[in-house]
């Protein structure tokens, strides 16, 4: 399998010898046949589907819980269009571009979903260490986001070392702005912004190179005859993708919702960029080998939680610590 040309240290699943390493792991009994097959698919195509990652009932409960954020908006953070952060009051919530940011902080149901066994085992095997869910968004309607690689907007200390999951909270129908992706595009050579940057900084790099970047992803994927697939999941199905997979949201043609929860995860030993500009960065241990962190919430233990440790965690809703203007190079959602 040809390796990609990259100046960054890849995860083992993206290294040129990944398939051989996977076989060795299987022979050593480190993974089940099912997990082996999922990782093999991820290595080959840059994505893998986990059918029934969560139950339909879990998805329904999560949807209902998300609907209830309007009752205590002060604990939650949302975005509408390209506006900076807002609390999800009714008029924000009702906007088709509404999404909650870092919902995993205040929702046990969300944490159970994003770390459900089928997802966590693929991520654990890919990272070979603990997994940290550091950015989590909910969508009601399709994002219609241009085809992109997440590394241009989601910034971590080792730019290729993170992954994402997309969990369907309802059956997704064609025309609802379904997620689309070029299979195999995770192996495209790096597109580098100035100063060898994998991430785009609008202020420093400008819009022209961003356009060039987006165009080049589609042009190179098409040129290599990569298949443009769409994700039409049933409620509870999940998609996991590699950081460099070229993906985006199809145009919405039927006005149907397409409720989902999207999470970015990195290995425990990789740092989200926001660690450098928040003074409260913390990895909270939430389950075996599973952590959460957030750019917007101060998760550091305090009071009783600090004295008594994790077992006594009081699990009140936490209020956002940071609602400020978006930093220019992070979590930037394009038109
Ligand atoms: O759900 C979508 O339409 C796109 C989501 C996405 O690409 C992301 O959050 O990185
Ligand atoms: Fe994305």
Q: Return the pLDDT at 326.
A: 58
What distance in angstroms lies between residue 255's CA and the mean position of ligand 1's atoms? Answer: 18
User: Check: CATH 2.60.120.620 for 12-312?
Assistant: yes
What distance in angstroms lies between residue 238's CA and the mean position of ligand 1's atoms? Answer: 13
d(CA 6, CA 149): 14
What distance in angstroms lies between residue 265's CA and the mean position of ligand 2's atoms? Answer: 12
> What tokens appear for 197 in the block?
């940057």
Q: Return the pLDDT at 310.
A: 58
State the ligand closest to the CA atom of 142: 1
Which of 183, 243, 195, 246 lies closest to 216, judged by CA? Answer: 246
> Would you say the pTM of this structure is higher than 0.85?
yes
Best residue among 136, 166, 182 to mutate for probing ligand 1's pocket (most ligand atoms within 8 Å of CB) is 166
Q: Residues near 195 by Cβ (< 8 Å), separated by ≥ 6?
A: none
- Average pLDDT of adjacent 10-residue blocks, the chain of 335 residues: 86 97 98 98 98 98 98 96 92 96 97 98 98 98 97 98 98 97 98 97 96 98 98 98 98 96 98 95 96 96 72 73 62 41
**Closest ligand 1 atom number to CA of residue 150:** 10
d(CA 298, CA 304): 16
Decide if 47 contacts 245 (C-beta within 8 A): yes
- How many Cβ atoms sit within 10 Å of the Cβ of residue 220? 16
Q: Return the pLDDT at 88.
A: 96
Q: Return the pLDDT at 335.
A: 32
Residue 76: DSSP 8-state: -
d(CA 194, CA 200): 9
Domain range summary for the chain, segments of one domain joined by +: 12-312
> Which residues lie with the beta carbon below 6 Å from any ligand 1 atom?
137, 139, 142-143, 145, 150, 164, 179, 247, 249, 262
What distance in angstroms lies between residue 145's CA and the mean position of ligand 1's atoms? Answer: 7
Q: Return the pLDDT at 9.
A: 97
Q: Return the pLDDT at 62.
A: 98
């Amino acid at each position: 399998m040809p390796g990609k040309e990259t100046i960054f240290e890849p995860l083992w699943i993206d290294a040129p010898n990944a398939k051989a390493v996977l076989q060795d792991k299987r022979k050593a009994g480190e993974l089940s046949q099912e997990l082996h097959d999922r990782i093999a698919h991820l290595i080959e195509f840059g994505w893998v589907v986990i059918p029934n990652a969560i139950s339909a009932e879990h998805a329904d409960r999560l949807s209902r819980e998300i609907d209830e954020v309007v009752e205590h908006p002060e604990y939650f953070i949302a975005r509408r269009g390209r506006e900076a952060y807002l609390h999800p009051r009714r008029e924000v919530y009702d906007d088709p571009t509404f999404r909650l940011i870092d919902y995993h902080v205040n929702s046990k149901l969300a944490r159970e979903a994003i770390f459900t066994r089928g997802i966590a085992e693929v991520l654990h095997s890919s990272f070979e260490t603990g997994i940290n869910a550091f950015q989590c968004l909910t969508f009601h309607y399709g994002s219609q986001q241009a085809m992109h690689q997440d590394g241009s907007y989601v910034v971590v200390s080792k730019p290729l070392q993170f992954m994402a999951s997309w969990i369907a909270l309802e059956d997704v129908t064609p025309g609802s702005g379904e997620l689309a992706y070029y299979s195999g595009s995770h192996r495209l050579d790096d597109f580098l912004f100035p100063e060898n940057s994998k991430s785009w900084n609008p202020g420093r790099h400008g819009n022209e190179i961003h356009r060039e970047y987006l165009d080049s992803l589609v042009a190179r994927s098409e040129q290599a005859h990569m298949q443009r697939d769409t994700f039409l999941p049933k409620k509870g199905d999940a998609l996991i993708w590699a950081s460099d997979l070229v993906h985006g949201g199809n145009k919405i043609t039927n006005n149907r919702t397409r409720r989902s929860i999207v999470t970015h995860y990195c290995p425990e030993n990789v740092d989200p960029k926001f660690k450098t500009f928040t003074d409260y960065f913390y990895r909270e241990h939430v389950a075996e080998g599973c952590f959460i962190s957030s750019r917007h919430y101060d998760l550091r233990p305090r009071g009783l939680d600090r004295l008594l440790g994790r077992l006594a965690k009081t699990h009140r809703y936490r209020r956002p610590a940071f609602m400020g203007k978006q930093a220019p190079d992070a979590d930037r959602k394009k038109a």
